[in-house]
Structure 1
Amino acid sequence: MHAPEPELTIPDAPVYDLLFADLRDEERDLVAFIDGRTGDTLTYGALVDAIDAFAGAFAARGIGPGDVVSLHAVNTPAFAIAFHGILRAGATATTVNALFTPGEIEKQLRMARAVAHVTVSPLAPGSVPAAQATGIPAERIVVLDGWDAFPTLRDLLAEGHPAPDVTPEARSQVAVIPFSSGTTGLPKGVMLSHRNLVANVQQCVARLHVSPQERLLAVLPFFHIYGMTVLLNLALRARATLVTMPRFDLEEFLRVLQDHRVSYAFIAPPIAVALAKHPLVDQYDLSALRTVFSGAAPLDERLGRAVADRLGVEVLQGYGMTELSPVSHAMVRGASDGVPLSSIGPAVPGTEAQIVDIETHAVIEVPEEGRSRSGELWVRGPQVMLGYLDNPEATAACLTEDGWLRTGDIAAYDASGAVFIVDRLKELIKHKGYQVAPAELEALLLASDRVADAAVVGEPLEDGDEAPVAFVVPQGEPDADAVLAELNGQVAPYKKLRRVEFVDAIPKSASGKILRKDLKARLTGE
């Protein structure tokens, strides 16, 4: 299957050149960023000048091509300056999850072989010692907003060094090394080239239709590939305005949407649950909002429709993964009528996709009517990663010799060619010889008035089998028997929940993915 749009021409250029080389004089006064907390603004002209100066300061410290710089920060305009300054210097950025412990930070920095570290003051007490433990010297540790005696962003910009005369080789040079979320196993460093990122930005431009007049809410973290490409780089390429939030808080999220007249919001399904169900939403004027785009995990159609109906917006869904820079499929903004919201839309331009039998790898054809049987989704295109850092075995297991990336996601087509994600291959629950998709049961649970949030995992049984168990955040008076009866009355016998456990919150990664391994650990006591 191919994208419906014509093939794209992908510039053979580094990320900086794609985003900023054609910045016109009249665009320098456009607002690139609004800090959602303070209202402070940063124009495109000031942004590019700061990126160049940051790159110059790093080059003066001997940092350039072949070096890796770690970036451990939350969403602020300064993140963009540091991130693109690292790339402008010809170095590689490895972005670190803002929720990581010092031990996890140190582990990633060692794996990536970082030679410099950039962070912010709220994270510095854990971040700086982790960087020091890897041997990074104090003069190469930057705390953007100031902490202790370490160099700040202001210090670096005041040095006045010109940007170095370097042009990264787009196809071969690694631009970023984000680490996969580890929701199904140990995190791995994903090597993405400049061309990978450039290609995916261009693919998203063609599909998501962001205009320069728009304001995009940036609450999904820039350190995650979804926020990095689909928010940060896409918005900058389009000359739109990003309104940043350092973390998600529903009341602050709604205030920023209202006060800054945000028109385009990129979210993950947990935020969709709040938008559909929380009474606080009705207290805010969200009339400027036109489009809500959901990614990072499957969005149930009923939940998406509830958001669309409540807010009067277009709701879209897409699909991707870190190894795909991240987007391979997305619904088309402004042309979603008639496309099932439970689908992930067609492949983005320049991308091939196929669904293959899990056992034989035989290609499953698009059916003439109804929906095809399920199989694993494979993707091929210019956004496919170079490979995993220092892990050729994992790379070989993920990438075929002819360039297909095995996503590990179970999908199906309908007769129109729409693709539907069924579940993660590694997350399927095997019960009495049947495969049970957690996402299916979670969608049914979330449709209940008794449930605010939910996750389903397989509980190991003594005979080696598994049984579905639900962790539920209750809405109203908790009643496990009622939740069980409602769910189990809607599914086949092998899909029925064994039990319901009530919890205060469902553990999720910063990008909104359910951390099933944490829930399974609760069941097994590990």
Structure 2
Amino acid sequence: MPIESKYPLIDIPDTDVWGLMFERKDRAYPDDKVIYYDPYTTRSYTYAQVKDTAIDFGKGLKALWDWQKGDVLALYTPNCIDTPAVTWGCHWAGGVLSPANPGYTVEELAFQLKDSGAKSVVTQLPFIKSAKEAAGKAGIPENRIIIIGDQRDPSGMVKHFTSIRNTSGTARFRRTKAEPHDDLAFLVYSSGTTGHPKGVMLTHRNIVANVLMLRAGEAGKLAWDKGLNGEGDKLLAFLPFFHIYGLTCLIHQSLFSGLQLVVMPKFDLNDFCRFIQDHKITFSYVVPPVVLLLSKHPDVSKYDLSSIRMMNSGAAPLTRELVQALHDRLKIPIKQGYGLSETSPTTHTQPWEDWNKTIGSVGTLLPNQIAKYMSPEEREVPAGKTGELWIKGPNVFKGYLNNPEMTENALTEDGYFKTGDVGHQDQEGNFYITDRVKELIKYKGFQVPPAELEGILVSHPHVNDVAVIGIYNEHQATEVPRAYVVPSGGPGAGEKEAIEIVEWMNGKVANHKKLRGGVRFVEEIPKSVSGKILRRLLKVKAAEEERNGQKAKL
């Protein structure tokens, strides 16, 4: 039988995102509460300033460009405290926000602009050249490029968003309300392992539901209190706002719950630690590579991180070894959550008070969802057995833009989303995610999850970081696991050290999980901005090694 959430059903109001954020009657904090804070410039937004700025920006869009319901505004920028107001200003005007990775090339950005049908692009001055080129390729006029942040275009040719919000003659415009079930709030692009990214269509109801579901899941006896200074918890935000993890868990949750969000444009270890120390940060959403740095990097010892009550990791599997290493060094508890772009994103989280009871679990199913684990033959498997996770709930996306075939393959007729993630549940209803379906290594009919091996390897004293992939071995006509290791001693590691790691590892795993593909030393592990290992790049590297005569070991 499908697994139902242990949480009581929550009421999801029939409203759009703007209505949830700015028209609710139960807000428990004042208008002048600072919600978004830039620690580099000390610039900030209170709740009232976010709302007023968003309304003015939305009016400017309508006045200048006759903004219509469903028009798409692209966001091509690192994290910025102006982003929330621009986002909700777009929604006020009836638009759809489509965030893009600021690391995209011109061609990659142009694809998203074309595919989404974007009418305008928001960026920052350092990215203006690429934004202009991509906009040109997508047929977007240059006068529809907008700058946010502290810098202005010195030529005056590109408008700053403040000039949009200060457009005259806008008093006559009114908010365009969205139909929650049908109208899109966000069009996010998920990175595929091959081909172009997919446009994930998230409705207003999807986002409203997930904000409330996450709030219910974080409502334990330890969650969101008055913090160290009576103003409530402070969150440190470096996770990208162009990713659904940052969009929902950071931007939306902070405003909804009245939590101050200290915003970093990108991750920097020393700044991250310094801001925790100086601003008495109490909570941070992180990813496994950051947990790894905090547990091993010597610079961390320079700072007082004792104000942190809890961290939450997502975006990639977090292993028991990493949880233990962080807690052993810093005494910081860390829980795990799980979600996908297609689920708005959060579907599971560990309760605050249970973080050390089910280490390695992503927690329990958030309210208003049901789930099941399915075999490759699409038969449900019982608790304890491995399968692909399928999820159904109000947070599940509408489909992939311009791709009905892929949508049909991802969504079942009765509303389940096939996540592509492999795992199992235990008898108590805790869920475990071990890997992606397509990333499992198949050794002689056995399935080997790379993330499990990585979790063990990273606990080795001479391993700073690691990724495991499957390499085809002609002699055995099967894939074998190979580890790419960033050694703690630097680039001088050689064959002797590789053999030592292989032998150490082989003593800790079952026969079919042994590192028969050996160990290769690298300077860094390629990862996406959300912390996911880019295994396809390692596959390319492995192919080059094979061509150069470095054969996999038996």
Q: Tell me, yes or no, whether TM beats 0.5.
A: yes
For 1:169, which of 143, 165, 179 is the aligned residue? 179
1:445 match = 457
Residue aligning to 1:48:
51
* Partner residue of 2:87 out of 61, 83, 91: 83
Count of matched residue positions in the alignment of Structure 1 and Structure 2 = 519
Report the Cα offset of residue 423 of structure 1.
Answer: 1.0
Say whether residues 1:222 and 2:241 are aligned partners.
yes
Contact 1:58 1:64 in 2 (8 A): no
Q: Secondary structure at the match of 1:459?
A: strand
Which residue of structure 2 lines up, in the alignment, with residue 405 of structure 1?
A: 417
Q: Which residue does the alignment assign to 1:339?
A: 357
- Contact 2:338/2:349 (<8 A) preserved: yes
Instruction: Give the distance between the partners of 1:393 and 1:337, measured in 2 at CA.
Output: 40
1:362 aligns to 2:399 (yes or no): no
Give the direction of change, closer, same or farther, for the CA distance of 1:184–1:238 in structure 2 (3 Å limit): farther
Residue 470 of structure 1 deviates from its aligned partner by 1.2
Distance 1:350 1:282 in 2: 42
Q: CA deviation at 1:337?
A: 5.4
2:233 & 2:202 partners in 1: Cα distance?
28
- Aligned to 2:434, the other structure's residue is in SS state strand
Of 160, 179, 191 in structure 2, the residue corresponding to residue 152 of structure 1 is 160
Letter in 1 for 2:365: A
Q: Counterpart of 1:474?
A: 487
After superposition, where does 1:120-139 map in structure 2 within 5 Å? 120-139=124-143
Question: Which residue of the other structure, out of 256, 260, 277, is the alignment partner of 1:241?
Answer: 260
Cα separation, 2, equivalents of 1:186 and 1:434: 31
Task: Confirm or deny that 1:263 pairs with 2:282.
Answer: yes
| 1:183 Cα deviation after fit | 3.9
Instruction: Report the counterpart of residue 458 of structure 1 in structure 2.
Output: 470
The C-alpha deviation readout for 1:367-410, integer Å capped at 9, x for no partner, is xxxxx120111100000000000111111111100001111111
What is the one-letter code of the residue matched to 1:10? I
Look up the match of 1:300. Answer: 319
Which amino acid in 2 is paired with 1:429? I
- 1:512-523 matched pairs, under 5 angstroms: 512-523=531-542
Q: Which runs of 5+ in 1 are unaligned?
A: 367-371
- Aligned CA-pair RMSD: 1.8
1:59 aligns with 2:77: no
Alpha carbons 2:79, 2:264 under 8 Å: kept: yes
| Counterpart residue number, 2:39 | 36
What amino acid is the match of 2:485?
V
In structure 2, the partner of 1:483 is 501
- Is the Cα contact below 8 Å between 2:58 and 2:165 reproduced in 1? no
Contact 2:29/2:258 (<8 A) preserved: no
C-alpha contact (below 8 Å) 2:31/2:48 kept by paired residues:
yes
Equivalence map 1:66-77=2 (5 Å): 66-77=70-81
- Tell me which residue corresponds to 1:425: 437
141-150 or 379-388, larger mean C-alpha shift: 141-150
SS in 1 for 2:364: coil
Helix, strand or coil at the partner of 1:18: helix
Change (3 A) 1:491 1:53: same
In structure 2, C-alpha distance between the alignment counterparts of 1:289 and 1:122, rounded to whole Å: 33
Partner-residue secondary structure (3-state), 1:69: strand
For residues 127-184 of structure 1, give each alpha carbon's deviation from its aligned partner in whole angstroms, at most 9, with x where no partner exists: 2211122111122110124234101022112225356331010100011110112246
Bigger mean CA deviation after superposition, 124-133 or 164-173: 124-133
2:96 aligns with 92
What is residue 495 of structure 1 aligned with on the other side? 513
Alpha-carbon distance in structure 2 between the residues aligned to 1:96 and 1:356 = 33
Q: Higher mean Cα deviation, 16-25 or 209-218?
A: 16-25
Deviation string, structure 1 residues 268-315 (Cα, Å, up to 9, x no partner): 000000111111111111121101000000000121122233322331
C-alpha separation between the residues in 2 aligned to 1:25 and 1:128? 43
Q: Is the 8 A contact 1:55 1:164 kept in 2?
A: no
Other-structure match for 1:287: 306
Taking the TM superposition and a 5 Å limit, the aligned residue runs for 1:367-378 are 372-378=384-390
- State which of 194, 201, 205 in structure 1 corresponds to 2:204: 194
Q: Is the 8 A contact 1:184 1:516 kept in 2?
A: no
CA-CA distance at 1:26 after TM superposition: 6.5
Kindly provide the CA deviation profile for residues 408-432 of structure 1, in whole angstroms up to 9, marking residues without a partner as x. Answer: 1111122212111121100001122
In the alignment, residue 379 of structure 2 is paired with which amino acid?
A
CA distance in 1, matches of 2:330, 2:67: 48
SS of equivalent to 1:177: strand
Q: 1:339 Cα deviation (Å)?
A: 3.0
Distance, in Å, in 2 between the alignment partners of 1:234 and 1:191 is 20
Q: For residues 344-380 of structure 1, give each alpha carbon's deviation from its aligned partner in whole angstroms, at most 9, with x where no partner exists.
A: 1110011111111122x222223xxxxx120111100
Give the whole-Å Cα distance in 2 for the aligned partners of 1:337 and 1:376: 24
What is the CA-CA distance between 1:324 and the residue it aligns to? 0.5
8 Å Cα contact 1:275/1:281 also seen in 2 = yes
Amino acid of the structure 1 residue aligned with 2:12: I
Map of 2:550 onto structure 1: none
Question: What amino acid is aligned across from residue 466 of structure 1 in structure 2?
Answer: E
Distance 2:305 2:284 in 1: 11
CA distance in 1 between partners of 2:278 and 2:329 (Å) = 19
C-alpha spacing 1:4/1:338, structure 2 compared with 1 (3 Å):
farther
Q: Could you tell me which amino acid in structure 1 is paired with residue 349 of structure 2?
A: A
Deviations 1:34-89 (A, max 9, x none): 10222222111111110111111111111221211111111111111211211221
